[in-house]
Amino acid sequence: MKKSLLFFALAVGSYGTIHAQTTTSSVTGIVKQSTGQTTTGATIKITHQSSGATFSGSADSNGRFNIANLQEGGPYKIEVTYIGQKPVVYDNVFLKAGEALQLDPVFAESSETNLGEVVVVGRGLIDIAEDRKTPIAVSTISKQIIEEKVGAMDITASMVNTPGVYVSGQSKGFGESSMTTRGFDQSNTAFLLNGQPINGMDNGRVFWSNWSGLSDIASLVQIQRGLGSSKLAISSVGGTINFVTKSTDMQQGGFVKTTIGNDMFVKSTIAYNTGLMKSGFAVSAMVTGWQGNGYMKGTEGAGQNYFLSVGYKVNEKHNLNLMVTGAPQWHNQAFNASLSTFLKEGRKFNPNVGIVNGVERNVRKNYYHKPVANLNWDWTIDDKSSLSTVLYASVASGGGQSSRTERDVNPTPFLASQVNNHQWYGVVSNYNRKLSDNLNFNVGFDLRDYKGEHYIQVTDKLGQETISHKGNVNYGTMTTSNTYSTNPWKSFGDKPKNAEDRLGWDYEQMIRYAGLFGQLEYAKDGFSAFFQGSLSGQQNSRQDYYLYKIGEGKSKDVNNLGYNVKGGASYTLGNHTIFGNAGLYSRQPFQNNIFMNYRNDVNAEARNEEIIGLEAGYKFASEYFDVNVNAYKTTWAHRVTGSSKNATAKDVAKYNPTNDPSILVEGDYLYFSNYGVKQDHKGIELDFVARPFRGFELKGFASIGDWKYDGSATTIVRNEKREELTIEKRDLTGVKVGEASQTSFGLGAKYRIVKGFSIDADYRRYEDLYGSLPANTPTLKLPNYELFDAGVSYRLDVSPKNSMSFRVNVNNIFDTLYISEANSNVDPTAGSQYWKGIDTSNSVLMGWGRTWNASVKFTF
């Protein structure tokens, strides 16, 4: 990344001076780049190194700043940061009455990990760990790493070298990856976009195909494992992932970037920033287009990403920023298949590809468009208090296409999509007050209103003139001749308005949520302590137009209270810090767990889930070496889990003894709902960074976990019509939690050979990996595997303001064949075949083989 010179000068006369008074003093100055240009929007933070009291400000359009109310004496630490630059830091600064302090210019290279390089609108809402003095288990991924590592993959690819994180599912198609944190899946890991919750309100899930633009607009990703620093009452059982997007850039310029990759992947991006104009406005915009054939057979996809950020500096106290972003896309999907089939047909085999109307095609398709808009208002009330508020909205449309029959009235296959539209509005506000030099307090609220719309619509009649279907209870058998688009741009307006065009089900989900939160933190002489708490109310209901007569389809309102409390303390002595945190969560059940049978009947088993988290850690930081060690224990009781699989011949014999084809046939989906599940997760994590000499960096991580189920669970098995087939009870005590590697470790190195040219490589090994929890059997232990990735970067400065950047990645260099996940554990039979100890009749998903991508970027 381009080197630059940040000039921190405490000027005399027109540039200002530092005056140290006997009582208080102010710091004024100007920030410049190596070109002599002043830097707009730089952040200046001054910290009293004994008391921990912090004062901060930002540079105006002329690069000037003024920070008042500093006590004379010291020592102070002065830190100047700006996007893309390593902070300029001055330690042990003393302020003396009548003396001006001159600080010399310092060359600074780009930083990959320091949060200070990101200037964020809405900073008071974004709970990044650096804003809280009491540490947590955290890993921060910079924009540079995101740009280098993601390439043609989801943004989850930037997180794979993080302890406690496991990423899988990439082979299912574009945007289909999933990740777990400390063994907890995405629905139980909180994801925040600039402080705004983005987990689905009905089931907590996150689909990365809806967020493909994050890899282009994220300034950083911070992974807070365990309790985290967020004050919201959110789904942070495994942890909290903060995506911080670029704010409106105050520097004029832009870039053009093109990426190509394996399987005909092409992605092009153009971005431009106006810089801060005389009117006080600044605009940043970006547009991306991509397409590719997909790694697995028949997993083609295409889409666009867009980003618009408009900032307005009202005055020194008020800043406004409007952001709109979205990622309309479509992609074909791949699913699990038997291991024997993959070994025979190759790892790119896709069970969804078949002959339809004489043509080979994949009928499984996802299409979605989920634009998000938020308006941030930052108000600096005075030198001790501030208020940050974000208003946000998300209006989404799309669904998943598959082959369907109406066995009772229309046995000929046709294509239909399960539609999931929603409208989601919310506001989050946080007031911060510095009560004293050592005590900080904030309080805020979180309001959300959600409405989801769900039905099935015909997308392709496959040559039939009309489609007959069972229809809703009010009309009986119905016929439709209409089809609807799977184009993500058209899906907003192309919706069925008549009952005959809505098949299978037709209902709405309504969720209203209100929460209050607060935090008190004390810091003095290396010691810090905090206490957080939140209280929330949630109302769930549904309106069904399919299963109930007109006027009778509204469910009752289900109201639940939830809360969380957490606290911790730390002590820092020199380069060493020790800390401990504890938390208790009572989390309301998801909408889909309250109405589990897709009717208005309230599930009596749905109760608040209870989570207890304990963690302790040690941090060491120095010029040449940083290390973090964390130990944790999380128990999770009263939870409800769900899974699905394609029915085998054995399943049909077990769950459909009468062999009624209207109930279950081979290949149909089976749905399993598990109640009363308890999990116990404990483990140790380590990560380090070593910088033994200039230009070389060595990173490493390790995670050793012990994740098990505890106690008995009740399992309800349903077919595709959500009809109950059976209820089973089983003891899960000691059964290993699956879907993630419980033991993992890795090493990564980066070496800058000459100016602008660097190489990097990463190694990861995964052990103690288990499949998801199947019906009536323990989880399946999968073979260990290891992966090697490598990359090369080159940057050429064409002029002081223009540069060319090149990047090449090769992932899974040695083309390792491995299983990334499994959803069965078959009982061995006579003549069973095995691969690395796994019965080859098990249903698995293979990981990607060797892949590559290359990019070129011109910055102006």
pLDDT digits (tens, 9 = 90+) for 535-554: 999 999 999 999 999 999 99
Distances (CA, A) of 474 to 453, 471, 555, 720: 19, 8, 17, 22
Question: Considering just the CA atoms, what is the radius of gyration of the chain in Å?
Answer: 28
Distances (CA, A) of 532 to 134, 227, 444, 522: 12, 11, 12, 12
Could you tell me the pLDDT band of residue 129, with boundaries at 50, 70 and 90? low
How far, rounded to the nearest angstrom, does the alpha carbon of residue 574 sit from its chain's CA centroid? 34
Between CA 330 and CA 365 the distance in angstroms is: 7
The more confident residue out of 236 and 788 is 788
Residue closest to 648 by CA, chosen among 781, 842, 407: 842
**Hey, where are the domains in the chain?**
4-111, 123-245, 253-859
Least confident stretch, 126-135, 565-574, 798-807: 126-135
Least confident stretch, 37-46, 304-313, 423-432, 762-771: 37-46
Kind and range of the H or E element at 253?
strand 253-261
Looking at residue 130, the DSSP 8-state letter turns out to be G
Predicted confidence at residue 15, as pLDDT, reads 31
Between CA 251 and CA 38 the distance in angstroms is: 10
For 712-725, what is each residue's pLDDT tens digit?
A: 888 888 887 778 89
For 178-201, what is each residue's pLDDT tens digit?
A: 999 999 989 888 898 888 888 988
Whether the predicted pLDDT of 843 surpasses 80: yes
Predicted confidence at residue 11, as pLDDT, reads 33
Predicted confidence at residue 226, as pLDDT, reads 87
Could you tell me the pLDDT band of residue 759, with boundaries at 50, 70 and 90? very high
Whether the predicted pLDDT of 110 surpasses 60: no
Predicted confidence at residue 92, as pLDDT, reads 73
Whether the predicted pLDDT of 345 surpasses 80: yes
> What is the CB-side half-sphere exposure of residue 669 using CA atoms within 13 A?
14
Whether the predicted pLDDT of 32 surpasses 70: no
CATH code of the region 4-111: 2.60.40.10
**pLDDT above 70 covers what percent of the chain?**
88
Predicted confidence at residue 40, as pLDDT, reads 55
Kind and range of the H or E element at 147?
helix 143-150
Kind and range of the H or E element at 341?
helix 339-345
Topology of domain 253-859, CATH = Maltoporin; Chain A (2.40.170)
Average pLDDT for the chain: 86
Three-state DSSP state, 277: coil
Kind and range of the H or E element at 452?
strand 439-460
Least confident stretch, 25-39, 376-390, 538-552, 809-823: 25-39
Query: Which residue type sits at 835?
Result: W
For 134-155, what is each residue's pLDDT tens digit?
A: 788 888 888 888 888 888 889 9
Could you tell me the pLDDT band of residue 97, with boundaries at 50, 70 and 90? low
How far, rounded to the nearest angstrom, does the alpha carbon of residue 166 sit from its chain's CA centroid? 13
Predicted confidence at residue 116, as pLDDT, reads 38
Could you tell me the pLDDT band of residue 86, with boundaries at 50, 70 and 90? low
Least confident stretch, 226-240, 377-391, 526-540, 693-707: 226-240
Predicted confidence at residue 647, as pLDDT, reads 83
Between CA 501 and CA 710 the distance in angstroms is: 46
Residue closest to 371 by CA, chosen among 307, 317, 415, 314: 307
Between CA 393 and CA 391 the distance in angstroms is: 7
Between CA 408 and CA 785 the distance in angstroms is: 47
Ramachandran quadrant class, 285 (left: phi over 0; alpha: psi -120 to 50; beta: rest): beta
Predicted confidence at residue 69, as pLDDT, reads 66
Query: Which residue type sits at 561?
Result: L
Predicted confidence at residue 109, as pLDDT, reads 40
The more confident residue out of 707 and 65 is 707
Whether the predicted pLDDT of 822 surpasses 70: yes
Are 588 and 600 contacting, i.e. CB atoms less than 8 angstroms apart? Answer: no
As a whole number, mean pLDDT of residues 124-142 equals 74
Look at the pTM and tell me if it is higher than 0.95: no
Residue closest to 234 by CA, chosen among 193, 194, 202, 204: 204
Between CA 240 and CA 37 the distance in angstroms is: 38
Could you tell me the pLDDT band of residue 4, with boundaries at 50, 70 and 90? very low
As a whole number, mean pLDDT of residues 411-431 equals 95
**pLDDT above 90 covers what percent of the chain?**
55
Predicted confidence at residue 132, as pLDDT, reads 62
Predicted confidence at residue 74, as pLDDT, reads 75
The string of DSSP codes covering 158-203 is GGTTSTTEEEE-GGG-TT--EEEETTB-GGGSEEEETTEE-S-TTT
Q: Which residues of 593-608 are buried (b: 16+ CB within 10 A; e: fewer)?
A: bbbbebbbeebebbbb
Whether the predicted pLDDT of 115 surpasses 50: no
Whether the predicted pLDDT of 2 surpasses 50: no
Predicted confidence at residue 37, as pLDDT, reads 47
Looking at residue 150, the DSSP 8-state letter turns out to be H
For 227-250, what is each residue's pLDDT tens digit?
A: 887 877 777 888 888 888 876 666
Are 224 and 239 contacting, i.e. CB atoms less than 8 angstroms apart? Answer: yes
As a whole number, mean pLDDT of residues 79-99 equals 66
Residue closest to 709 by CA, chosen among 684, 669, 674, 677: 677
Q: Which residues of 833-856 are buried (b: 16+ CB within 10 A; e: fewer)?
A: eebeebbbbbbbbbbbbebbbbbe
Could you tell me the pLDDT band of residue 526, with boundaries at 50, 70 and 90? confident
Could you tell me the pLDDT band of residue 5, with boundaries at 50, 70 and 90? very low
Predicted confidence at residue 683, as pLDDT, reads 97
For 285-342, what is each residue's pLDDT tens digit?
A: 999 999 999 999 999 999 999 999 998 888 888 989 999 999 999 999 999 999 999 9
Predicted confidence at residue 230, as pLDDT, reads 80
Could you tell me the pLDDT band of residue 166, with boundaries at 50, 70 and 90? very high
The highest-confidence range among 343-347, 437-441, 645-649, by mean pLDDT, is: 343-347
Predicted confidence at residue 204, as pLDDT, reads 87
The more confident residue out of 135 and 95 is 135
Tally DSSP H helices, then E strands, for the chain.
5, 51
Give the architecture (CATH level 2) of 123-245.
Beta Complex (2.170)
Predicted confidence at residue 10, as pLDDT, reads 33
Whether the predicted pLDDT of 271 surpasses 60: yes
Predicted confidence at residue 651, as pLDDT, reads 86
Distances (CA, A) of 628 to 338, 374, 682: 41, 35, 17
Whether the predicted pLDDT of 21 surpasses 70: no
